[in-house]
Structure 1
Amino acid sequence: MHDKTSRKKPSLVRHTRDSVTQELAAWTGLVKGEWKWILTLISGLVVLIAFTRPLPPKEVYLAVGEQGSVFALLGEKFIPYFAQEGIELHLINTKGSASSLAELADKNLKANAALMVGGVVAKGKFPNLLSLGSIEHTPLWLFYRGSVFQGKGLFAYFSSKRIALGVEGSAEEIMINKLLALSGIVPDYRENFLRINNQEAAQKLIGGEIDALCIMDGIDGPTIQRLLSQKDIHIANFAYAPAYVKKLPFLNTVVIPMGSLDLKDNRPEQDIQMLASTVTLLVEDDMHPVIQQIFLLAANKIGNEVDQFFANPEFFPAYIDHAVALSPVAKRFYETGPPPFIDSLPLWFVNYVDRIWFLLVGTVAVIYPLFRLFPSYRLIRSSILISDAYTEIQAIDQKAAQAQTNEELQELINELNALDAQSRESSISSVEMNRLYSMKSALNLIRLQIINRKKERTP
């Protein structure tokens, strides 16, 4: 007699193991049977990933103008933020904003981004570039020697002096030319208008070789700090600054308050009104969204620094110069702020999900109802196998009713034998065992009926 104690006791571990084994067997069967569709799906995913570029490049090149300028100093501030994401930011020194623009606009050169003075770019001239906004003010400084100028015709007075306007194509030269044109002064062909770089011009002004110089740079720039330290060199007050801003909307007015440079010596002795543009960050229109996000996040933190002289914290970054279209990434950043979870997840992953969330939502909307209908694939696969077997048994039964010879009947018996063997080799979920053996009973019944018919026809 069979020993009842030898029967297996219920075991959660064994049940879990068997369920996992059956599930894996079902998925293996799916791969073997539907490999063409699976390969198509994988190919589509690969194309989607390649098209949406989840991972950013490992190197970025930023044109920053003259060495030692505010642009170069700003560029250095961006480097640690890129390093945190495993990306190396290279700074490219140029002759000025116009040179940086040319470097960026030429696809054959390395620069992918550039810091430049707002107002240098003509509106609509560079459709292949995008703006990430402005980062800080860049004042137009007019330093001069001699007695303090008290009049209002500033440009008329200095147009007869030996004055340095920056190298050809620099932000200083472009800006001064626009301001002089508004004052009815044509700077071309004047020998007293010198086109030399800022460092050389500063040295000549300190040495008394020239009377004045124009420079667009931040107050923290080494050249500006050197000139501010010279007590015999003055800063020009732009009395008509608001009027120029009306004519050139990319400009604004900034003020050096009385005594703000040196309270002990009361420098300056009165408020000095100045014209200012902004440091604008331009990028290639195909720049990776993650790189744009890093620039924006860094610019946001730099803009919140409390030691800015000409701007209140949290004013920058801002979209001020509209000559270049705002990047869609920057537009969303300004409207909704930084993406969520950037402090706890890799930026590339957060950015990628942020870009394709609509695809994820659509996919979940389709898959979730199916998931609720089919809690495990092994159950639906087992159900399909058994249902298909029932359909084949029914078809064989119908053929048997129309068979006229023993050969036809034997062929049907062979089909049933093959179907029976296939059912033994298939991985069927334990939940579907009742239906499996009901199907095998139906198969055996039809097979027995055909065998009996065959015997009846045998002489």
Structure 2
Amino acid sequence: MLIIPSLSRKQTFFLAVAIIAGLALLLSMFSRSILPAPPGRVEMTTGAAEGAAHQFALKYQAYLKANGVMLDLKPSTGAVQNLERLNAGMPIGFVQGGLGLLQLDSQEPESSTPLRSLGVVGYEPVWMFASPALARTLSKGLGPLAGKKVAVGAEGSGTRKVGLELLQAYGVTAANATLLAEGGQAAADALLAGKLDALIVIGAPQTPVVQALLGKQDAVHLVSIEHAEGLTRRLPYLSLVTLKAGSVDPAQDRPRQDITLLATTANLVIHKDLHPALAYLLLEAAREVHRGPTLLNRPGEFPNGRATEFPLAEEAARYYKDGRPFLQRYMPYWAANALQRLLLVLVPLIAIAIPVFRIVPKLFEFKEKNRLYRRYGVLLQMERDITSRTLSPAEVAEATARLDKIEYEVSHMKFSLDFSDRVYTLRQHVDYVRKQLHAAEEKAAGQPLQA
């Protein structure tokens, strides 16, 4: 008979290490196949290299790099090209107001677009600059721009789309005005040099061109349109913001009076297949970059999930409601993500393992008991045969062979230490039945029993 002894402490330690290593390997395989890790490198379409959107993206890039993610920036001609790239599969980008699905058709189902918004990150006013004399005539409407040279932004830019719509509302088109596909610093220099009559720029107050022209109030004026509120009814993606008097330069009294501006918003947009962990990281980056005050908004106003032009991503909805995920509040990005992936596999695994570990020992115990009880059943039947009738010599020989077989099997079977007493008891019962068999054999032969 072989009895498995209890394991020593050293053996128990190595067994535990082996089990832990096996579970770690299993969890690693599960996490890679079911819950893939977020990519370490991702692309973002931004805007013109000299524009505010690209400058914001550079700050995103630095934030993500500090968290172990490389953000490759792809400058573009503007929001229209950004939207084209996003629809083609680029995972991240800025999209100007007026281009989004919900603005174009609020009844469209979410499934009709692969894009999701992480929120509105700021105002993008429509800045219209002109010579002082022309600017005063434009306050009543943009009709006087007919016959003038106006820079309306590069092809593929959101500035051009909105600028053309505004001019068309006043009857100014390419048929009666020179509408140039120019923008950026080159257009600003042309305006200051008198080569342009007006310039339309759409961008955040931090846009370098806007900052430069706001500082040239004696040479060019910022146009304030009295019809601004009425225009928001015709072009509902526009809203009103006010550039307060003295907000640009109080010492120089710039601007000298409040200026009402039309404004779009900037949306941080992702492809719906972007890894959720990266979506949360981008939301944190957006909060760091856009939460400060500007000439048009107070601290903490952006980012937010209101009036987005694409369906709000699930991660963004949870973020604006509850803040950062629990683990990311106390751990670095990479550690929180690794632990979250581990827990998502470990929790159901433990839920399965606990009942399994309870059942398996009982199954083994049942198996060992069954092996013993089957042989007890054979012994009981043999004992009844011996005591109930006289066995023939052939039956005695057969019974002896069966006893030998039982004793051999019991002696060579492996049992846990807990069953050692039952095994010894079974062997004693085998000896007891063997003695009964010998006694029955001697009685049948007419020989006296020996003590």
TM-score range, shorter chain: 0.7 to 0.9
Question: Which amino acid in the other structure matches residue 255 of structure 1?
Answer: T
Q: 1:52 aligns with which of 24, 27, 35?
A: 35
- Aligned counterparts of 2:398 and 2:17: Cα–Cα separation in 1: 39
- Equivalent positions of 1:40-439 (< 5 A) are 46-47=29-30, 49-53=32-36, 55-107=37-89, 111-123=90-102, 124=108, 127-147=113-133, 148-149=135-136, 152-181=139-168, 183=169, 185=171, 187-230=173-216, 231-305=218-292, 307-348=293-334, 350-351=336-337, 383-384=365-366, 386-397=368-379, 400=382, 404=395, 406-407=397-398, 409-411=400-402, 413-423=404-414, 426-428=415-417, 432=418, 436-439=419-422
RMSD of the alignment, in Å? Answer: 3.7
Whether the 8 Å CA contact 1:135–1:317 is kept in 2: the answer is yes
Whether the 8 Å CA contact 2:291–2:300 is kept in 1: the answer is yes
Q: CA deviation at 1:63?
A: 0.6
1:445 aligns with 2:413: no
Q: CA deviation at 1:160?
A: 3.5
Question: Are residues 76 and 405 of structure 1, via their aligned partners in 2, closer, same or farther at CA, if it must alter by over 3 Å?
Answer: farther
- Aligned counterparts of 1:186 and 1:390: Cα–Cα separation in 2: 101
Whether the 8 Å CA contact 2:45–2:73 is kept in 1: the answer is yes
Task: Summarize deviations over 1:308-329 as a string: whole Å, max 9, x none.
Answer: 2221111111124443111111
Q: SS of 1:342's equivalent? A: helix
- Aligned counterparts of 2:197 and 2:100: Cα–Cα separation in 1: 30
Q: SS of 1:176's equivalent? A: helix
- TM-score w.r.t. the length of structure 2 is 0.80
Deviates more, 1:133-142 or 1:194-203: 194-203
Q: SS of 1:244's equivalent? A: helix
Gaps of 5+ in 1: 1-15, 32-37
Whether the 8 Å CA contact 2:142–2:167 is kept in 1: the answer is yes
- Aligned counterparts of 1:316 and 1:22: Cα–Cα separation in 2: 57
Question: Which amino acid in the other structure matches residue 232 of structure 2?
Answer: V
Deviates more, 1:348-357 or 1:128-137: 348-357
- Aligned counterparts of 1:224 and 1:94: Cα–Cα separation in 2: 19
- Aligned counterparts of 1:401 and 1:180: Cα–Cα separation in 2: 111
Deviates more, 1:211-220 or 1:145-154: 145-154
Q: CA deviation at 1:278?
A: 1.6
Whether the 8 Å CA contact 1:65–1:116 is kept in 2: the answer is no
Q: SS of 1:292's equivalent? A: helix
Q: CA deviation at 1:166?
A: 0.6
Question: Are residues 442 and 24 of structure 1, via their aligned partners in 2, closer, same or farther at CA, if it must alter by over 3 Å?
Answer: farther
- Aligned counterparts of 2:51 and 2:73: Cα–Cα separation in 1: 12
Across the two proteins, how many residue pairs are aligned to each other?
Answer: 418
Task: Summarize deviations over 1:258-315 as a string: whole Å, max 9, x none.
Answer: 111122221111111111112211111100111101100111222322x422211111
Q: CA deviation at 1:61?
A: 0.7
User: Percent of counterpart pairs with the same letter?
Assistant: 22
Q: CA deviation at 1:168?
A: 2.2
Deviates more, 1:408-417 or 1:317-326: 408-417
Deviates more, 1:168-177 or 1:441-450: 441-450
Whether the 8 Å CA contact 2:139–2:223 is kept in 1: the answer is no
Q: SS of 2:326's equivalent? A: coil
Task: Summarize deviations over 1:309-356 as a string: whole Å, max 9, x none.
Answer: 221111111124443111111111111111123243243553576689
Question: Are residues 356 and 25 of structure 1, via their aligned partners in 2, closer, same or farther at CA, if it must alter by over 3 Å?
Answer: closer
Whether the 8 Å CA contact 2:44–2:73 is kept in 1: the answer is yes
Whether the 8 Å CA contact 2:126–2:202 is kept in 1: the answer is yes
Gaps of 5+ in 2: 1-5, 103-107, 386-394, 446-451
